[in-house]
Amino acid sequence: MIDRRSIAGYDWLLFVVVILILGMGVLSIYSVTASSAVQARTPLYMKQIYWIILGWIVFLVMAWIDYHEIARFAYPIYVLTLLLLVLVLVMGRSAQGAQRWLSLGFFNVQPSELAKISLLLVSAKYFSDYFPKRGLNLRQLLVPGALVLLPMLLILKQPDLGTALAISSVFFSIVLVIGLRSKFLIYSSLLSLMMFPFLWQFFWNHLKDYQRERLRTFIDPTNDPTGTGYHIIQSKIAVGSGGLFGKGLFGGTQSQLKFLPESHTDFIFSVFSEEWGFVGIFILFLLFFFLILWGVEIAYKAKDVLGSLLAVGIIGLIAFYFLVNVGMTLGVMPVVGVPLPLMSYGGTSMVTTMGLLGLLFNVKLRRFMLFY
Amino acid sequence: MRESYFPQEETRDLQSRIYWLFGLIVLALFGLLMRAWYLQAVKGKFYHELSENNRIRVVETAPPRGLIYDRNGNLLVNNVPSFNLYVVLGDMPDPADVLPRLAQLIEMSQEEMTRRVTFKKEDPFFPIKVKDDLTMKEVALVEGHGLDLPGVKIEAEFKRNAIHGTLAAHLLGYVGEVTQAQLESGLYENVKRGGIIGQYGIEQTFDAIIRGTPGQKRIEVDALGHEIRVLEVNEPLRGDDVFLTIDLNVQKVAEEALGNQNGAIVAVDPKNGEMLAMVSHPAFNPNLLSQGASSRAWEALLKDEGRPLTNRVIHGQYPPGSTFKIVLGAALLETKEATPSSRVECRGFLPFGNRNFKDWKRGGHGSVDLHRALVESCDVYFYEMGNRLGVDTISKFSHLFGLGQPSGIELASEKGGLIPSTEWKRQARKEPWYPGETLSVSIGQGYVTVTPLQQALMISMVANQGVFHSPQLLKKIWDHETGSIQEIPTAEGKRIPVSPETFRVIQNALAGVVSDPHGTAGGAKSQFVSMGGKTGTAQVIGLKGGVHGKLPDKFADHAWFVAFAPVESPKIAMVVLVENGGHGGSTAAPLAKKVIEAYLGVVPPLEPLTVKSPAPPPTPVRSEG
């Protein structure tokens, strides 16, 4: 029961937008890694293209299966996620001081990636089942709050601050859209204001050393110019030196000469900005703006609460990643190590993002369905 | 809106707040876009400059130092290739891990490594030299572990090489990395941290000539500091070569003559003040020090009892002993206190005050005039005459002959020695001068100390009949850039107010010291060349004139001999000092003979009494005498 008018309409424009963003990503990866002295057998940009192809397949799958069908498995998926998260803490493979990977023999998975999708499904499912007409109060927030907090704490324990914050961004955008009772809003904000120092203390004490260091150097990057602050300074230099029109493809000295760390993953935006300048940034922002606008329209016109909330969560998640990543490279947010959706090199992020977009398209496709 | 299709009550409740969410996101997007505008458009130039500086590094390339030759163009010091090991802390992610492994590879102690690397680190990208002159094995080891040793690099450079090793070590000196204090002194304008400058001897004095101008290489580097490509090269300018006044052959002979004895030999051309040889023993190996000796090697040098780092020629201060009698003789004749025929009866001692001042010859010399007093070195004559002159007159004439004050030779921290006077004693010792002290001074004992260099210049003045030339070390400078050779002019001679007649008498007596059967330096008589000289035996301890008991070596007397030759037209003036060598006549004088014969080029068995002219110097010898 797919509405043909939709595809025949202007949705192809959206595909163009996504493909353009993907193309910019591949180009930037190509630019940084092409000159690299150590050439892998398959160059990274080719690998990224393979991931993109896989991403489109996942997109199609996620768009095809009715989202109501998917949402029916929200709780089982949620329980499975929790199990995997516990498992990864017990017997996970660690990389760079964090235990995030779970080896499944033939390939490794990151349960925290799955947690994003399952939290999205659970939150949307729960709130659509128990939809509070005139906004949420504290009691109604208890159960979903607990549902979110549980995997969040497990992920923080890995530790993976970026994903934990991303999950909370899904939850908060859904809660924001459902709305809070005004009285509750006032009380809770007063309470959290009073609790802030204690919470901060608690939060600070539970951070790993390197996370604290990152936050500290975010406040003053020059404090530690060769350590953590190095990333921020080099990224700002890369972006700033791009100027209005950029240094052109392969022209980015910062990234070509490897002053930028993680240039093809977390700092791909710096590479892009250095080579394409403000003009490039402006176009990229415009593309992401269209993407989000498209999502917002889907959320707005969704057939039911479930669809709408799903769309809202997806927008929230993608916007979160984009804003935090770009904010980090521009030096206005701490380095938390989140990828730039659709552009950063990496299979997990690519497949997840494409899957989410597929789900978003799913909601749109089933807007005119009569029943389910 | 297409709500006409399916009116949805529930979602309508959400719709207004979806715009809130959208608004928030757009606001954040706009904020970030403004931030990008700020970085790229407003501060774009600033960051562009930063990115340029980030990748371009200016590396200084050390210039080869100028070579050092002797007066005849024999090479003394050159540069040879050397592999030096550097550490760049800025390119080293974990020095605590890399440095100990590096130390192990080159077999350096951890402390030594730490000491070298922690010396100043304001610029993390400054290459710190860890070790000079790696062996091939070490080069291979370090290169082989290159990937595990980030921030470690080997540079092919030059090292300073004194060809004859310890020969003339004190004169030639050594080079070393500029110290922090030297940098701050402002004396080394174009020298940057890590630069190599002369630290001793000729290398130090003429550093500005020899050093050359460093070149610069602008290179593009990646974040690991690895050179990607060279953007611009300014070749370093080689320093100028210098030709010294030293004669390698004479220097060699002098060093061999002195052998293992501690002491000094200085030879000078009396006609122009050019230094011909300058020996100080024991010596150090300048190559060891130029190539960055380990702290253990330094410590050994500093603690050595023979003080090998001391240049005895200019730093050693010794009582002149009987060689001082030359000055007294000149003073006597000039002041008319005595004539050449004035006599003193020597009975082997002179009672003065409540004690007897003894002559070195137990039975005495009988009735002696000035000539015999010098030839036989009669102490009583000079006790008597010194007392008549008074210490202040002795002091005045000593200064005329350049004793007791630095000569102004172009070598660092020359010592002055000491010539006492009543004024000096009142100020320095807060005591009056006692007449008995004048007697000790008269035979070059007591408070009197001089350096070997002063002695050489004194005898040179005597040889040159009172015309003094400042000591000169540099003969010419060869500028490689222009190919021009700059001859260093001989300084105008200064005549001291002592009459030629006085010098005639003195020279005559000094010739007698060697040639007279009673002369104290009879053993130095040369078959081939006429020599004048004066022996001296300086007591190390005690002032009890003339007591020569059996003493442990380090308290044994210093042996002096000052000499010039040929007597008729002196071409060389020199001094020999043998520390704890005993009698000047038997120990020091024969050494002088060897050097003089070598310089004058007399070929021993074939041409007796013929004097060959020395290897012709390119500049005509200017004579004032």
pLDDT tens sequence across B318-353: 999 999 999 999 999 999 988 999 999 999 899 988
CB contacts, 8 Å: A259 with chain B: 51, 54-55, 222-223
Q: Are residues B66 and B184 in the same domain?
A: yes
The answer as to whether B206 is a domain residue is yes
**Helix %, strand %, coil % of chain B (to 5):** 40, 20, 40
Distance from CA of B61 to the nearest CA of A (A): 23
What CATH number is associated with residue B387?
A: 3.40.710.10
Q: Based on the domain organization, do B188 and B318 belong to the same domain?
A: no
Beta carbons within 8 Å of B484's beta carbon, 6+ residues apart: B478
Please, which pLDDT band fits residue B16 given cuts at 50, 70 and 90?
confident
d(CA B526, CA B541): 33
The CA-atom distances, in angstroms, between A196 and each of A168, A199, A333 are: 18, 5, 20
Cβ contact (<8 Å) for A281 and B36?
yes
Same domain for B410 and B536:
yes
The residue among B248 and B298 whose pLDDT is bigger is B248
- For tokens 């552009």, the residue is A343
Chain A residues touching residue B18 (CB < 8 angstroms): 177, 296, 299-300, 308, 312
Asked if A258 lies within 8 A of B33 by C-beta distance, the reply is no
pLDDT in tens, A99-130: 666 666 555 667 888 888 899 999 999 988 88
Residue B25 lies in a domain: no
What pLDDT is recorded for position A112? 81
A133 touches chain B (CB under 8 A): yes
| One domain for residues B164 and B265 | no
Provide the pairing of β-strand B196-198 with B175-177.
antiparallel
Task: Answer for the pair B57, B125: CB distance below 8 angstroms, yes or no.
Answer: yes
Same domain, B430 and B401: yes
How many percent of chain B have pLDDT more than 90?
Answer: 45
**Does B187 fall in a domain?**
yes
Q: What is the largest CA-CA distance in chain A?
A: 62
pLDDT in tens, A56-65: 999 999 998 9
Contacts of B39 in chain A (CB under 8 A): 236, 239-240, 330-331
Q: A288 CB near a chain B CB, below 8 Å?
A: yes
Confidence at A9, pLDDT banded by 50, 70, 90: low
Asked if B373 and B341 count as a contact pair (C-beta separation under 8 A), the reply is no
Q: Shortest Cα distance from A273 to chain B (angstroms)? A: 9
- Asked if the structure places residue B34 within a domain, the reply is no
Q: Chain A to chain B, count of Cβ pairs less than 8 Å apart?
A: 150
Q: A47 CA to chain B: closest CA distance, Å?
A: 25
- Closest Cα in chain A, distance from residue B4 (Å): 11
B274 shares its domain with B239:
no
How far is residue A149 from each of residues A171, A314, B585, measured CA to CA in Å?
10, 19, 104
Task: Say if B144 falls within a structural domain.
Answer: yes
Residues B176 and B259 in one domain: no
**Beta-carbon separation of B21 and A176 below 8 A:** yes
Same structural domain, B232 and B218: yes
Q: Do B517 and B372 reside in the same domain of the chain?
A: yes
CB contact under 8 A, A315 and B21: yes
Task: Tell me the residues of chain B between 192 and 231 that have a Cβ less than 8 Å away from chain A.
Answer: 220-224, 228
Residue B614 is predicted with a pLDDT of: 45
Query: Which residue of chain B comes nearest to A280, CA vs CA?
Result: B36
- Residues B261, B190, single domain; the answer is no
Q: How far apart are the C-alpha atoms of A322 and A74, rounded to whole Å?
A: 26
Out of B18, B37, B43, the one facing A300 most closely (by C-beta) is B18
Query: Which of A91-100, A342-351, B155-164, B286-295 shows the lowest mean pLDDT across its residues?
Result: A91-100
Q: Which of residues 327-346 of A touch B (CB under 8 A)?
A: 327, 330-332
**B27 near A CB under 8 A:** no
| Catalytic residue selected from B280, B322, B407, B460 | B322
Tens of pLDDT, residues A17-53: 999 999 999 999 888 877 554 455 678 888 899 999 9
Q: Is the pLDDT of residue B604 over 80?
A: no
Q: Are residues B203 and B182 in the same domain?
A: yes
For the cut 60, the answer to whether the pLDDT of residue B279 exceeds it is yes
Residues 393-422 of B with CB under 8 A from A: none
- B101 to chain A, any CB pair closer than 8 A? The answer is no
B218 is a domain residue: yes
Mean residue pLDDT of chain A comes to: 81
**Minimal CA separation from A352 to chain B, in Å:** 21
Active site residue B460: no
Tell me the angle at which helices A228-241 and A268-301 cross, rounded to the nearest 10 degrees: 80
Residues 109-128 of A with CB under 8 A from B: none
When pLDDT is averaged across residues B611-619 and rounded to a whole number, the result is: 44
Q: Which residues of A touch B2 (CB under 8 A)?
A: 301
Question: Which chain A residues touch B48 with a CB distance below 8 Å?
Answer: 240-241, 243
Q: Is B17 on the interface with A (CB under 8 A)?
A: yes
Distance from CA of A84 to the nearest CA of B (A): 32
Q: What is the pLDDT of residues B115-155, one digit of tens each?
A: 777 655 456 667 788 888 888 888 888 888 877 787 788 88
Query: Is A225 in contact with A321 (CB distance < 8 Å)?
Result: no
- The verdict on a CB contact (< 8 Å) between B10 and A173 is no
**Same domain for B279 and B240?**
no
Q: Give the nearest partner residue to A278 out of B17, B28, B36, using CB atoms.
A: B36
Q: Residue B53 falls within a domain, yes or no? A: no
In tens, the pLDDT along B218-266 reads: 777 766 666 777 777 888 888 999 999 999 999 999 999 999 999 999 9
Closest residue, chain B, to A277 (C-alpha): B40
Work out the minimum CA distance from A132 to partner chain B, whole angstroms. Answer: 10
Residues A300, B15: C-beta atoms closer than 8 Å: yes
Q: In the numeric block, which tokens belong to residue A314?
A: 């997806």
Residues of chain A above pLDDT 90, percent: 29
CB proximity under 8 Å: B 124-163 to A: 124
Q: Which helix (DSSP H) or strand (DSSP E) does residue B517 occupy?
A: none
Tell me which residue in A273, A278, A305 faces B10 most closely, judged by beta carbons. Answer: A305
pLDDT tens for each residue of B425-481? 999 989 999 988 999 999 999 899 999 999 999 999 999 999 999 999 999 999 887
Q: Which residues of B touch A293 (CB under 8 A)?
A: 22
Give mean pLDDT, residues B537-561: 67
Does the pLDDT at position A172 exceed 90?
no
Instruction: Please say whether the beta carbons of B174 and B290 come within 8 A.
Output: yes
How many domains in chain B?
A: 2
Contact flag A285-B124 (C-beta cutoff 8 Å) = no
B434 at interface of A, judged by CB pairs closer than 8 A: no
Strand duo B68-69 + B241-244: pairing: parallel
B397: pLDDT strictly greater than 50: yes
CB contact under 8 A, B39 and A239: yes
Q: Among B188, B217, B244, which residue terminates a domain?
A: B244
Q: Which residue range is the domain that position B149 belongs to? A: 58-244
Nearest Cα to A112, choosing from A153, A147, A67, A59?
A153
Q: Where on the phi/psi map is residue A295: left (φ > 0), alpha (ψ -120 to 50), or beta? A: alpha
CATH code, domain with B233 = 3.90.1310.10
Give the distance from CA A89 to its chain's centroid: 22
